[in-house]
Amino acid sequence: MNKYTQYKAEVAGTGMHVPKKVLTNFDLEKTLDTSDEWIRTRTGIRERRIAGEGESSSTLAAQAGNQALNSAGVAPEEVDLIIVCTSTPDILFPSTACFVQKEIGAVNAAAYDISAVCSGFVFGLSIAEQYLKSGRYRYVLVIGSETNSRIVDWTDRSTCILFGDGAGAALLKRTESAGSGGLLSSHIYSDGGKSDLIIVPGGIGKTGVSCKSVEAGDYFIKMLGNATFKVAVKRMVEVSQEALEFNGFTHKDVDLVVPHQANRRIMDVVTEKLGIPADRIFINIDKYGNTSAASIPIALHEAWGEGRIAPGNLVLLPVIGAGLTWGAALIRW
């Protein structure tokens, strides 16, 4: 038997940081053919945060990461690995995670980015889980951070109303404690055949950046909304059921669902199909919009801070993202 099989991965601390600038639906009414009512009824969003001058995915991530470390009482030097989940990196390279490592002083940590778009944080948890359960590392900092406002077309009401900026973080620790707590399992999937549903088509390694592609808006988010809605519901329900069955649970055992905050209607339909009551879902999309890889860790931090999660609770984290990517993690708090 592997001597490391007794190890578990537990959440030691969480953190979040969002820009100060607030962009409301009423602000968008001034420049778009839309209304607060139209946006709220279709998405559940009332406002979102927008990164300002001097703010980027790395600066937001560093703030969230520091908060997670402080809440856990862990020094930056103790961190073994930093995973930044982002589809809006500061620059092409070096990785945003390396900038975060420098900013928070995690001098002993390896650091790298992963790109699974909205699914990034759950994909990051799945990586951290393997390192910790194998005994390889003691502390892994997983951060979802996005500056989506920099890659949306502010004249396209079908997409720009949806997205916001922010960062959320979770510090995971290796533990040998007895019991059934910790990150029980993570389940991740991809389907490149549906890559056209949500995409930023502008090329870098394939075609290079050109004035023509920039002027054509190829570096903005493009989305097929109706098709995305249908597949999002199907995949999030399937993977949530898989995570529960894998661990011997049913929907009745779930204390709280902390889903990717993509669209209020998606979240409502998913939990309805799972048979989970509305009072067991945490929703904050009204304040932040879709912050992509940051949405679940921001919501997780707020849910814990508001007392919606208590020790022993079973917490389900389902997600869908571009790629197509999807997944779910199940945590015994």
* Catalytic residue set: 118, 260, 290
Residue 289 to residues 17, 51, 63, 263, Cα–Cα distance (Å):
14, 13, 20, 8
Return phi, psi of residue 186, to 5°.
Answer: -135, 145
DSSP 37-77: HHHHHHH---EEE---TT--HHHHHHHHHHHHHHHHT--GG
- Say what the alpha-carbon torsion angle 55, 59, 61, 62 is, to the nearest 10 degrees: -160
What is the rounded distance in angstroms from the CA atom of residue 27 to the CA atom of residue 9? 43
- Find the radius of gyration of the CA atoms of the chain: 19
What is the rounded distance in angstroms from the CA atom of residue 174 to the CA atom of residue 134? 9
Instruction: Return the structure tokens found at 306.
Output: 């508001």
- Say what the alpha-carbon torsion angle 126, 17, 49, 280 is, to the nearest 10 degrees: 60
**Maximum alpha-carbon separation in the chain:** 65
What is the rounded distance in angstroms from the CA atom of residue 47 to the CA atom of residue 12? 30
DSSP 281: B
